[in-house]
Amino acid sequence: MYIALNNEIFINGQTDIGDGRTVQLFDRNRTYLGMGYNILDNLRVQGGWMKQTTVNWSKGQAQLSLHHSF
């Protein structure tokens, strides 16, 4: 078994998107906490919770994933 912790911060490299429109420098932040289990050496199953936040909204979502390496 293992624990997975991730945090991603998305930043726009350019705020001017044309036609007089702009976007904010900060786009979103994703924080993830999960637990996984190695079924085989090359096969894992993982479940967790991710929270996404932008300037205008925030939401959480459950995730279940299967990871295979060749």
Confidence (pLDDT) at 31: 98
For 8-47, the pLDDT digits (tens) are: 999 998 889 899 998 888 999 999 999 999 999 999 999 9
Domain ranges of the chain: 2-68
For 45-69, the pLDDT digits (tens) are: 999 999 999 989 999 999 999 999 9
12's enclosing H/E stretch is: none
Contact 33, 48 (CB under 8 A): yes
Q: Is the pTM of this model over 0.85?
A: no
Which tokens in the block code for residue 7?
């945090």
